[in-house]
Amino acid sequence: MIHHLSEAHSLVQIWISELRDVAIQQDRMRFRRNIERIGEVAAYEISKTFSYQPIAINTPLATTTSYTLQQQPVIATILRAGIPLFQGLMNYLDKADSAFVAAYRKHDEQGFHIEQSYVTAPNLNGRPLLIADPMLATGASFIKAIPSLLANGTPSELHIVCVIASQEGIDFVQKALPNAHIWVGAIDPELNDKSYILPGLGDAGDLCFGEKLQN
Blockwise average pLDDT, block size 10, the chain, 215 residues: 85 96 96 97 97 97 97 94 96 97 68 72 97 94 89 96 97 95 96 92 92 70
Predicted TM-score (pTM) above 0.75: yes
At 111 the pLDDT is: 59
CA distances from 130 to 80, 98, 124 (A): 16, 9, 11
Tell me, yes or no, whether 67 lies in a domain.
no
- For the residues of 148-202, what is the DSSP string, one character each? HHHTT---SEEEEEEEEEEHHHHHHHHHH-TT-EEEEEEEESEE-TTS-EESS-S
Tell me, yes or no, whether 152 lies in a domain.
yes
For residues 200 and 187, give the distance between their C-alpha atoms in angstroms, rounded to a whole number.
9
Q: What angle do CA 143, 146, 151 make, to 5 degrees?
A: 135
- How many domains does the chain fold into? 1
CA distances from 205 to 18, 54, 78, 96, 143 (A): 16, 41, 11, 24, 19
Instruction: Give the number of other Cβ atoms within 10 Å of residue 58's Cβ.
Output: 8
Tell me, yes or no, whether 178 lies in a domain.
yes
Tell me, yes or no, whether 143 lies in a domain.
yes
Tell me, yes or no, whether 61 lies in a domain.
no
Tell me, yes or no, whether 153 lies in a domain.
yes
Tell me, yes or no, whether 78 lies in a domain.
yes
Tell me, yes or no, whether 214 lies in a domain.
no
CATH classification at residue 115:
3.40.50.2020
Range of the domain at 177: 2-50+72-208
For residues 203 and 211, give the distance between their C-alpha atoms in angstroms, rounded to a whole number.
9
At 104 the pLDDT is: 66
